[in-house]
């Protein structure tokens, strides 16, 4: 069975099981033309890619800023955002650097519903500064939206530009990503996400009932007063902190894109001679940076568990069982993912809207099986041009 057939069969399987209503997947190997498969959407359908924002905007912008001499990977966060150390755990927070944020080893919590009480960047910086850490910097991996919010704020300060403008200049324009941006153009065909904010509304309620000591405080009245969206969300970002608190633009979420644009962007990470990014810096960025900690993290990217210890293997990774030891990828809550396997010289981009009309379970396992199928079909040492 050729790659396109495998992609089509895998997407159809996900739809039949009710994991998502529509999807598109693209496979790119070496210099071959991309192979696309789609169910219920068109080639240029735009998706809310959620946390892929972290590795499509924030990560490359940070690395290109390093290359431009605007910062170091080991700069302390407080060097660029002094307000970060105003609250709890200030001594520990003074030790947190950009590398910690990129590898999710800062000790910051995963998520907080700041949007219930905060509006704008300064309010978010102060709220994160007041938030207690949940661990020692560098001692654990906890995937954190807060860390990537901070990275976005740092980028805006060092470039003295809005994040969306930085992204356009450094990433979207160089890779001709004409259907990618924070927010959407009226002529774009945009996949819908959730019907209202029910999932995150319930998350915020659960947080209110079991709030960690010292963390963000809000009342039931404030929770009820949020203008929770009721209609199907389409063309505005699904994530609550990005939508309500940060005007749709953040380092952790907010990006919309297409499968073609994302495959084009991945040349940054797959071109043998390097595109825009110094090859040595790029190679450093895609190596596992978290040592024996699990789950394994490169800079920004999730790293393959091959070569990891038993705890890492037990956790698995979203790229499946077959992605090589040098593989790296990322996922988005809305049902999106990117995985690249350098040994196969293959990139797989998969975009679904698994949150439409309601958030569904089963996506983690489906994604795992999906990548197993596709990487097995591609194989190793395959000659170019074949399907």
Q: Is 104 helix (H, G, I), strand (E, B) or coil?
A: coil
| 27 has pLDDT over 50 | yes
The residue-averaged pLDDT of 75-80 equals 98
Q: Nearest to residue 123, comparing CAs of 156, 83, 96, 163?
A: 83
Q: Is residue 87 pLDDT above 70, yes or no?
A: yes
Task: Count CA atoms closer than 13 A to 339's CA, side-chain side.
Answer: 27
Q: What is the mean pLDDT of residues 301-318?
A: 88
What pLDDT is stored for residue 56 in this prediction? 99
Q: Per-residue pLDDT averaged across 279-288, rounded?
A: 97
Distance between CA atoms of residues 29 and 349, nearest Å? 12
Question: Domains in the chain, start-ordered, CATH in brackets?
Answer: 3-45+259-378 (no CATH), 52-180+191-257 (3.40.710.10)
pLDDT given for residue 88 in this prediction? 86
Phi-psi region of 139 (alpha: psi -120 to 50; beta: other; left: phi over 0): alpha
Reported confidence tier of residue 386, pLDDT bands at 50, 70, 90: very low
**pLDDT tens per residue across span 113-140:** 999 999 999 999 999 999 999 999 999 9
User: CA-to-CA distance for 305 and 296, rounded, in angstroms?
Assistant: 7
pLDDT value, residue 387:
34
User: In this predicted model, what pLDDT tens digit does every residue of 141-155 receive, in sequence order?
Assistant: 999 999 999 999 999
**Residue 170, φ and ψ in degrees, nearest 5:** -85, -30
Q: Which helix (DSSP H) or strand (DSSP E) does residue 181 occupy?
A: strand 181-182
- Which structure tokens are listed for 124? 């978010």
Q: Please count the residues of the chain.
A: 387
Per-residue HEC secondary structure of 197-237 comes to CHHHHHHHHHHHHCCCCCCCCCCHHHHHHCCCCCCECCCCC
For residue 311, name the pLDDT band (cuts at 50, 70, 90). confident
d(CA 112, CA 151): 16
* The 328-332 sheet, strands edge to edge: 35-39, 23-29, 346-352, 336-341, 328-332, 302-303
Mean pLDDT, the chain, whole residue set? 95
CA separation for the pair 353, 359 (Å, rounded): 9
Can you tell me the mean pLDDT for 335-361? Answer: 97
Q: Among 339, 252, 329, 300, which Cα is nearest to 73's?
A: 300
- Measured between alpha carbons, how far is residue 151 from residues 102, 104, 121, 251 in Å? 8, 12, 12, 6
Work out the burial of residue 2: count CB atoms within 10 Å of its CB; fewer than 13 is exposed, 13-18 middle, 19 or more buried: exposed
Q: Tell me the H-state helices in the chain.
A: 3-16, 53, 59-67, 77-80, 90-93, 98-102, 121-130, 145-159, 163-167, 198-209, 220-225, 240, 259-265, 267-270, 279-285, 310-315, 363-378
pLDDT digits (tens, 9 = 90+) for 204-250: 999 999 999 999 999 999 999 999 999 999 999 999 999 999 999 99
Give percent of the chain with pLDDT exceeding 70.
Answer: 98
Tens digit of each residue's pLDDT (9 = 90 or more) over 40-53 = 999 999 999 999 99
Is residue 97 pLDDT above 50, yes or no? yes
Name the nearest CA neighbour of 10 among 372, 379, 382, 380.
Answer: 372
pLDDT at 203: 98
Q: What is the pLDDT of residue 314?
A: 79
Report yes or no on whether pTM surpasses 0.95. Answer: yes
DSSP state of 242: I
């Amino acid at each position: 069975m050729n790659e396109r057939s495998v992609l089509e069969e895998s997407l159809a399987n996900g739809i039949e099981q009710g994991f998502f209503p529509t999807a598109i997947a693209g496979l790119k190997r070496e210099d071959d033309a991309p192979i696309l498969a789609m169910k219920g959407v068109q080639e240029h359908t735009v998706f809310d890619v959620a946390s892929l924002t972290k590795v499509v905007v924030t990560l490359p912008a940070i690395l290109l800023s390093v290359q431009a001499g605007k910062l170091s990977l080991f700069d302390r966060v407080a060097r660029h955002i002094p307000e970060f150390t105003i609250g709890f755990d200030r001594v520990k927070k003074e030790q947190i650097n950009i590398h910690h944020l990129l590898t999710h080893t800062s000790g910051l919590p995963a998520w907080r519903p700041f949007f219930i009480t905060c509006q704008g960047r300064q309010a978010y910086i102060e709220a994160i500064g007041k938030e207690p850490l949940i661990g020692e910097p560098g001692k654990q991996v906890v995937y954190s939206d807060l860390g990537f919010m901070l990275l976005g704020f740092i980028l805006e300060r060092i470039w003295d530009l809005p994040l969306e403008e930085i992204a356009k200049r450094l990433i979207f324009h160089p890779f001709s990503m004409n259907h990618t941006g924070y927010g959407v153009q009226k002529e774009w065909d945009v996949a819908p996400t959730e019907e209202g904010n029910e999932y995150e509304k319930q998350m915020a309620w659960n947080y209110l009932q079991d709030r960690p000591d010292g963390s963000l405080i809000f009342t039931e009245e404030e929770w009820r007063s949020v203008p929770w969206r009721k209609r199907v969300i389409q063309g505005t970002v699904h994530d609550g902190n990005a939508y309500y608190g940060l005007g749709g633009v953040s380092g952790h979420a907010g990006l919309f894109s297409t499968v073609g644009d994302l495959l084009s962007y991945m040349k940054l990470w797959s071109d043998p001679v390097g595109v825009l990014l110094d090859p040595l810096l790029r190679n450093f960025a895609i190596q596992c940076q978290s040592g024996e900690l699990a789950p394994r993290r490169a800079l920004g990217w999730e790293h393959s568990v091959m070569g990891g210890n038993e705890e890492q293997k037990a956790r698995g990774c979203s790229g499946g069982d077959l992605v090589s030891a040098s593989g790296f990828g990322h996922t988005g809550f809305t049902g999106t993912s990117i995985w690249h396997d350098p040994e196969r010289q293959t990139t797989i981009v998969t975009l679904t809207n698994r949150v439409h009309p309601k958030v569904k379970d089963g996506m983690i396992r489906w994604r795992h099986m999906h990548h197993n199928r596709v990487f097995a079909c591609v194989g190793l040492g395959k000659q170019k041009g074949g399907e």
